[in-house]
């Protein structure tokens, strides 16, 4: 079964950091670009970042550039999102996805004092 499972979300104060993880199974992870997408409460979907299948290139939405870093470990079938200098507007459910294959169940990040 193709599956993505996120972890690492939680409550963090403004200016703080969190690292999200995503464990992939059921498909050849190293063959796929991977993506983080977020959804603020009651809002639509917003693309956050992409990483090439071999990790050689990363792409970000303007609002997170310089604060978030996407990375992957193909040996561990894992995707990561390091989030620094978090702001209230980063509060959302964060989904790990291979956009033409499958999505994870999401992990909630709440930025609040």
1/113 with CB nearer other proteins: 1
The least CB distance from residue 90 to other proteins, in Å, is 17
The least CB distance from residue 113 to other proteins, in Å, is 27
Residues that bind other proteins (CB under 8 A): 35, 37, 44-47, 50, 59-62, 95, 97, 99-106
61/74 with CB nearer other proteins: 61
Q: Please write down the HEC assignment for all residues of the chain.
A: CCEEEEECCEEECCCCCEEEEEEEECCCHHHCCEEEEEECCCCCEEEEEEECCCCCCEEECHHHCCCEEEEEEHHHCEEEEEECCCCHHHCEEEEEEECCCEECCCEEEEECC
């Amino acid at each position: 079964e193709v599956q993505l499972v996120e972890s690492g979300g939680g409550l963090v104060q403004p200016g703080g950091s969190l690292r999200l993880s995503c464990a992939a199974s059921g498909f050849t992870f190293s063959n796929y670009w991977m993506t983080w997408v977020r959804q603020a409460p009651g809002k639509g979907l917003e693309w956050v970042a992409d990483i090439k299948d071999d990790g050689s290139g990363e792409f970000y939405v303007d609002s997170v550039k310089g604060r978030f870093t996407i990375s992957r470990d193909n040996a561990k079938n894992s995707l990561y999102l390091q989030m620094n200098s978090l702001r209230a507007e980063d509060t959302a459910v964060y989904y790990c996805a291979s956009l033409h294959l499958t999505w994870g169940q999401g992990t909630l990040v709440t930025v609040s004092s």
